[in-house]
Amino acid sequence: MTVDEQVKMESGKRTRRSFLVAAAAAVGGYEFYRWIDRSNGDQLIPRPLRKGLNFDETVTKGVFGDRGMAPTYSLDKAEELRINGVYGLKEELVPESYRLQMVGVEQPKRFAQYVDDVTKWEYKYTAKKEEATGNHDTKVAPKDEVKMPPAFETALAELKKSKGDKRPRGQEEAGESDNTIDAGTAGLLLTMGDVTRFEKQEFVTQFKCIEGWSQYVHWGGVKLADLLAAYPPAKKADGTLPQYVYMETPDGDYYCGYDLKVCQHPQSLLVTEMMGKPLTQWHGAPVRLHMPIKYGYKQIKRIGLIAYTDMRPDDYWTKLGYDWYAGL
């Protein structure tokens, strides 16, 4: 049996094949297969495999390149995408209260949308907490239970109280992002009109979740590259550009980090429509990301903030042990 056949058989998931081959090539040898072996029947990437995931970054970059294009398909192939993962989406956002915060833009004061503190913007939610219908069985990687000392709990409660009734950030399992924007951070507050004024794009690509399933989806929206070109990053002191882009849902419950280059990929799409219909809440209304060259967990739904940064940004699933790069 070739390495290829073995990986295919052991994983049983065609969509993960190239990824696993890359990881296997990097880790090599018998141990790798033992890890996979123990994972039978488990939809999550098993814990030991994460050792391999750390190698994936360099390997996939070398093999596929950042600008490699994903194949596109005809419309009749497309189907309704399942709902998977609803972190940061559980409360319905009041559409009028939506703004896209942008931080790190070059000379932000030249734009009418400039504000001296983006964190003052208040997102509003309808009171009801609905449960998503359909599949949303993204499982959370097991975390060792940490019991906080009572003093810490009290301090935390007081901290929350001191912030008035401001919605606490990072309310999901992975907790608060390391890239929380401080109060007093200047930037832009864009409306959906500002976000959708670019040339409309439509294509069908394959959407791949690391859990091992994939679907063909018809996307509609604008190029993330167009938005970033209209609101470009401020150069650093040495004249170079920041390397990364950080995004999060309103109030920071789900968050992702990206290479700037990947955001400028022509197929990185700010999605406002799926299957020719406006995005629903569970798919990330009013705007979510699709990146056909990345796994699903990098395709953040309900984008509230886009920030340029020179430090590799935090990532919801990376906090729980997954590969930061998530390349296909």
Ligand X SMILES: Nc1nc2c(c(=O)[nH]1)N[C@H]1C(S)=C(S)[C@@H](COP(=O)(O)O)O[C@H]1N2
Q: Which residues bind ligand X (CB under 6 A)?
A: 81-89, 138, 209, 249, 254, 283, 296-297, 299-302
In angstroms, what is the minimal distance from the CB of 305 to ligand X?
12
45, interface contact from ligand X, Mo ion, none, CB < 5-8 Å by kind? none
Residues 57-86 that bind Mo ion (CB under 5 A): none
Query: In the structure encoding, which two tokens stand for residue 36, read together?
Result: 């996979």
Other Cβ atoms less than 10 A from the Cβ of 221: the count is: 23
The answer to the question of residue 296 lying near Mo ion (CB under 5 A) is yes
In angstroms, what is the minimal distance from the CB of 140 to Mo ion?
12
Residue 140 DSSP class: P
Q: Which stretch binds Mo ion (CB under 5 A): 69-77, 224-232, 289-297, 306-314?
A: 289-297
Nearer to ligand X, 27 or 45 (CB): 45
Q: How far apart are CA 316 and CA 304, in angstroms?
A: 15
249, interface contact from ligand X, Mo ion, none, CB < 5-8 Å by kind? ligand X
101, interface contact from Mo ion, ligand X, none, CB < 5-8 Å by kind? none
State phi, psi for 198 to the nearest 5 degrees: -90, 170
In angstroms, what is the minimal distance from the CB of 98 to ligand X?
14
Nearer to ligand X, 3 or 82 (CB): 82
Could you tell me the maximum CA-CA distance found in the chain, to the nearest angstrom? 63
Strand extents, DSSP E, the chain: 91-93, 100-103, 114-115, 125-129, 187-190, 201-208, 214-223, 244-248, 255-259, 269-274, 277-278, 288-290, 305-309
The answer to the question of residue 297 lying near Mo ion (CB under 5 A) is yes
203, interface contact from Mo ion, ligand X, none, CB < 5-8 Å by kind? none
Query: In the structure encoding, which two tokens stand for residue 69, read together?
Result: 């294009």
Q: How far apart are CA 285 and CA 131, in angstroms?
A: 16
In angstroms, what is the minimal distance from the CB of 95 to ligand X?
17
Parallel, antiparallel, or unpaired for β 244-248 and 255-259?
Answer: antiparallel
The answer to the question of residue 209 lying near Mo ion (CB under 5 A) is yes
Cα distance from N-terminal residue to C-terminal residue, the chain: 24
In angstroms, what is the minimal distance from the CB of 167 to ligand X?
15
Nearer to ligand X, 176 or 310 (CB): 176
Chain contacts with Mo ion (rule: CB under 5 A):
209, 296-297
